[in-house]
Amino acid sequence: MHTHSMKSHSVNSRFRQSCAATSTSEATGLIGELIYSENQPGMTQMLLLPLLQQLGTQSRWQLWLTPQQKLSRSWLAQSGLPLDKVMQVQGPAINTLEAMIKALQTGNYSVVLGWLPDELTVQDRRRLDDAALSGQALGLIMRPDPVEMAASRPYNGLKIHSSLYH
């Protein structure tokens, strides 16, 4: 059984420093990646919600760049996330990578979550790292488990996203 994994291309000590800094509102900038299983949404909630709740105490916004579905306001409220500090940009027309880079650079967001289906190039990872450092923000790349997707993907069909996040 494959469960969730969270990986970062930054040094572990930098991750610990950034997490410690979130409680003092002095973020240092970090890019992380959460590979999730759509078959086990509860596991993603256990990993992601405490972090988002802690970041919700900051004065800055949370930006969700979602490709297709609209965030559920009732889910946000039930999860303890601040409705007045969560912004969503959705739609298949957005370039999530470029939007993440621009949003991270502004410094207006404590966290920018972006759903990216494919692995990033080294150059794109560097651009995200630089943008997160510049804006002193956390960028989270959300990616569905590629093994699970390949095994369960129909040849011709419609993919239905988890209703918990969209």
Q: Which domain holds residue 121?
A: 5-152
The tens digit of pLDDT for each residue in 109-121 reads 999 999 998 889 9
CATH at residue 25: 3.40.50.300
Decide if 143 is inside a domain: yes
Answer yes or no: are the C-beta atoms of 54 and 24 closer than 8 Å: no
Decide if 166 is inside a domain: no
Answer yes or no: are the C-beta atoms of 166 and 64 closer than 8 Å: no
The tens digit of pLDDT for each residue in 13-52 reads 343 344 444 444 455 799 999 888 878 777 777 888 999 9
What is the tally of structural domains in the chain?
1
Decide if 104 is inside a domain: yes
Q: pTM for the complete prediction?
A: 0.73
Decide if 9 is inside a domain: yes
pLDDT score for 57: 93
**What tokens were used for 8?**
């970062």
Decide if 163 is inside a domain: no
